[in-house]
């Protein structure tokens, strides 16, 4: 890659304060800084402090001289829990309290382009339009789910929604353009499929749909995906949205984009949790593709009963497992009975390792890992796709419902355990993916991984789109510099 001269563009990147959003947007920030665009990455103070503690982000500006960080308060008291079932509160709080801070930074810092998390779509549009800064939305979910959200109002018009009730959950959705006959009602995020009884008012659905439609207003939209992975949804989105940049898997560019001989892109883990790297030594001592890696991301909580069903299923499968159990993963409303049945302790000692947080991209790339049991957050899904690792899906909420259907029915790289949590089902699915149907899933997963790598390599679609994105930002920044005074 040829070095570029420092640009006059100043891009403000503004993610939602959560791991799954900060992660991919910080990857984009580094890639843009590597192209010498001036980048200000705007975190809430809370997230920034955690990134400083656990991801050493303060060392990044030394490696990317055009990248710097700024913070805004999230409006919550310091002692407030921002995880588990309270994890949505910072999102809402920034929406309410963030306006004056965002406006101030856009104006005072002479920002020429705002790249805002689509989850903050309305807030970002209002502020960017008010001060005349061109903006782009970054959607951290899959384009297939984004498209599903966008089209949901029309599913009401075509009478596919609302659903009749539980008996209607396996009905196939036929009128979602590009994705006809792929999703069942149960594959829609729960707020997209109200029953007739609770059809009005649907506050969450209205919010999600209107935030999605906000993405029609900025100059462009960015997805962390690649064309070969989600072509049906992307071709529909391309017809309705002004300019679309598919630049994923973002974490994979890092190898192919770094100037030769440099390790510039390699060492930021973007974690707001402390990684327990001891799992890597444990993985080193396990046989090839023998371990199922289990993680439900940064937001999932579950009851102790559900946790035990997973645990029994894993132990009873007799497979080796590495399981991320975050300290806040058990629903805080649960009682404090911490006794764990002896057979689980014994079974885990023989074959399992449970840790608080791992370097997930490295874990997925490890030769001992044979499959990934996941909640199907979009980052986990695309990281698994890039690593060529088959999946077992246990979607927890929202976009994960759609992603898990893509895994099982569209890409055919795993199984979907949606709406069930039973030790026998866990055991059987683990054995299917790790043993009985291992070859079939591995072959499909490896084919996808080849496509992923191709997309971020020279000549690939995401590689080219990242170049186009840089040019686009330069162009709209020039327009801003020529016309705008704040
Ligand atoms: O031990 C771990 C566990 C996870 N991760 C990383 O954490 C991120 C988790 O992101 P994701 O898989 O997307 O899950 P969530 O944290 O649940 O992400 C939220 O944000 C995503 C992007 O909008 C949505 O797709 C999800 O539904 C939403 O829950 C990934 O990059 C993982 O590599 C680690 O590094 N170590």
Instruction: Report the atom number in ligand 1 closest to the C-alpha of 139.
Output: 23
Number of CB atoms found within 10 A of residue 345's CB: 12
Instruction: Report the atom number in ligand 1 closest to the C-alpha of 142.
Output: 25
Q: Are the CB atoms for 224 and 203 separated by under 8 Å?
A: no
| Contact 372 CB / ligand 1 (< 6 Å) | no
CA dihedral 91, 93, 99, 100 (to 10 degrees): -140
Tell the residue nearest (CA) to atom 33 of ligand 1: 360
Instruction: Quote the ligand 1 centre to 380 CA distance (angstroms).
Output: 6
Which of 145, 296, 379, 386 for mutating ligand 1's site (highest number of atoms within 8 Å of CB)? 379
Tell the residue nearest (CA) to atom 27 of ligand 1: 377
Identified catalytic residue from 46, 48, 117, 137:
117
| Contact 117 CB / ligand 1 (< 6 Å) | no
| Contact 398 CB / ligand 1 (< 6 Å) | yes
pLDDT tens for each residue of the chain, 486 residues long: 555 677 899 999 999 999 999 999 999 999 999 999 999 999 999 999 999 999 989 889 999 999 999 999 988 888 888 877 788 899 989 998 999 999 999 999 999 999 999 999 999 999 999 999 999 999 999 999 999 999 999 999 999 999 988 899 999 999 999 999 999 999 999 888 888 776 655 778 888 999 999 999 999 999 999 999 999 999 999 999 989 999 999 999 965 565 554 544 545 689 999 999 999 999 999 999 999 999 999 999 999 999 999 999 999 999 999 999 998 898 766 655 668 899 999 999 989 999 999 999 999 999 999 999 999 999 999 999 999 999 999 999 999 999 999 999 999 999 999 999 999 999 999 999 999 999 999 999 999 999 999 999 999 999 999 999 999 999 999 999 998 654
Which of 298, 362, 365, 396 for mutating ligand 1's site (highest number of atoms within 8 Å of CB)? 298
Structure tokens at 457: 């390599």
Structure tokens at 253: 């560019």
Q: Which residues are paired to 393 by β-bridges?
A: 374, 416
β-pairing, 414-416 vs 391-393, is parallel
Q: How far apart are CA 472 and CA 470, in angstroms?
A: 5
Tell the residue nearest (CA) to atom 21 of ligand 1: 20
Q: Are the CB atoms for 37 and 133 separated by under 8 Å?
A: no
Identified catalytic residue from 21, 38, 251, 375:
21
What pLDDT digit, counting tens, does each position of 5-63 carry?
778 999 999 999 999 999 999 999 999 999 999 999 999 999 999 999 999 898 899 99
Tell me whether 0.95 is exceeded by the ipTM.
yes
pLDDT of residue 66: 96
Q: How far apart are CA 302 and CA 85, in angstroms?
A: 10
- Reply yes or no on whether 21 is catalytic: yes
- Reply yes or no on whether 428 is catalytic: no
Q: How far apart are CA 456 and CA 462, in angstroms?
A: 5
pLDDT of residue 263: 45
CA dihedral 429, 430, 431, 434 (to 10 degrees): 120
Instruction: Quote the ligand 1 centre to 256 CA distance (angstroms).
Output: 23
Residue 226, exposed/middle/buried by CB under 10 A (0-12, 13-18, 19+)?
buried
Residues 23-35 as b/e (b if ≥16 CB within 10 A, e otherwise) read bbbbbbbbbbbbb
Rg value, the chain, Cα: 22
Instruction: Quote the ligand 1 centre to 474 CA distance (angstroms).
Output: 30
| Contact 379 CB / ligand 1 (< 6 Å) | yes
CA 401 to each of CA 203, 209, 381, 413, 414: distance values in angstroms, whole numbers, following the listed order: 19, 16, 12, 16, 14
Rounded (5°) CA angle 168-169-171: 70
Q: How far apart are CA 138 and CA 15, in angstroms?
A: 8
pLDDT of residue 264: 44
Q: Which helix (H) or strand (E) holds 20?
A: helix 19-34
Which residue blocks in 132-289 are alpha helix, DSSP H?
A: 143-157, 203-214, 231-240, 250-257, 278-284
| Contact 368 CB / ligand 1 (< 6 Å) | no
Instruction: Quote the ligand 1 centre to 201 CA distance (angstroms).
Output: 30
Tell the residue nearest (CA) to atom 6 of ligand 1: 360
Instruction: Report the atom number in ligand 1 closest to the C-alpha of 399.
Output: 27
Q: Are the CB atoms for 19 and 55 separated by under 8 Å?
A: no
Q: How far apart are CA 107 and CA 113, in angstroms?
A: 11
Instruction: Quote the ligand 1 centre to 261 CA distance (angstroms).
Output: 31
Q: Are the CB atoms for 407 and 391 separated by under 8 Å?
A: yes
């Amino acid at each position: 890659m040829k070095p570029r001269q420092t640009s006059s563009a100043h891009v403000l990147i503004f993610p939602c304060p959560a791991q799954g959003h900060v992660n991919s947007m910080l990857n984009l920030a580094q890639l843009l800084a590597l192209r010498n665009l001036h980048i200000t990455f705007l975190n809430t103070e809370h997230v920034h402090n955690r990134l400083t503690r656990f991801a050493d982000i303060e060392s990044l500006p030394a490696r990317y001289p055009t990248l710097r960080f700024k913070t805004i308060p999230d409006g919550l008291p310091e002692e407030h829990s921002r995880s588990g079932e309270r994890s949505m509160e910072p999102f809402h709080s920034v929406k309410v309290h963030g306006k004056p801070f965002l406006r101030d930074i856009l104006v005072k810092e002479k920002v020429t382009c705002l790249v805002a998390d689509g989850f903050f779509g309305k807030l970002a549009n209002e502020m960017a339009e008010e001060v005349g800064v061109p903006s782009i939305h970054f959607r951290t979910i899959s384009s297939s789910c984004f498209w599903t959200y966008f089209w949901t109002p029309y599913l009401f018009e075509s009478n596919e929604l609302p659903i009749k009730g539980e008996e209607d959950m396996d009905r196939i959705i036929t009128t979602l353009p590009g994705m006809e006959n792929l999703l069942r009602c149960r594959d829609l995020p729960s707020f997209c499929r109200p029953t007739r009884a609770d059809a009005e008012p649907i506050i969450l659905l209205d919010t999600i749909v209107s935030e999605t439609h906000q993405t029609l207003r900025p100059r462009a939209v960015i997805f962390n995906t690649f064309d070969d992975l989600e072509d049906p949804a992307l071709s529909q989105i391309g017809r309705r949205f002004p300019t679309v940049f598919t630049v994923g898997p973002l974490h994979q560019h890092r190898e192919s984009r770094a100037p030769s001989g440099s390790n510039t892109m390699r060492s930021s883990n973007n974690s707001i949790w402390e990684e327990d790297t001891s799992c890597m030594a444990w993985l080193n001592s396990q046989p090839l593709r023998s371990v199922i890696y289990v993680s439900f991301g940064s937001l999932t909580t579950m009851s102790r009963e559900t946790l035990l069903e997973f645990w029994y299923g894993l132990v009873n499968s007799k497979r080796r497992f590495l399981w991320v159990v975050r300290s806040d993963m058990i629903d805080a409303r649960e009682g404090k009975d911490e006794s764990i049945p002896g057979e689980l302790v014994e079974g885990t000692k023989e074959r399992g390792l449970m840790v608080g947080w791992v370097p997930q991209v490295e874990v997925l790339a490890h030769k001992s890992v044979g499959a990934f049991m996941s909640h199907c957050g979009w980052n986990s899904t695309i990281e698994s796709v890039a690593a060529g690792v088959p999946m077992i899906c246990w979607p927890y909420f929202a976009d994960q419902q759609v992603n898990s259907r893509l895994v099982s029915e569209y890409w055919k790289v795993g199984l979907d355990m949606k709406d069930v949590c039973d030790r026998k089902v866990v055991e059987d699915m683990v054995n299917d993916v790790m043993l009985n149907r291992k070859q079939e899933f591995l072959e499909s997963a490896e084919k996808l991984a080849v496509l992923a790598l191709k997309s971020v390599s020279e000549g690939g679609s995401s590689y080219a789109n990242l170049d186009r994105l840089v040019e686009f930002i330069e162009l709209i920044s020039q327009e801003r510099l020529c016309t705008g005074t704040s």
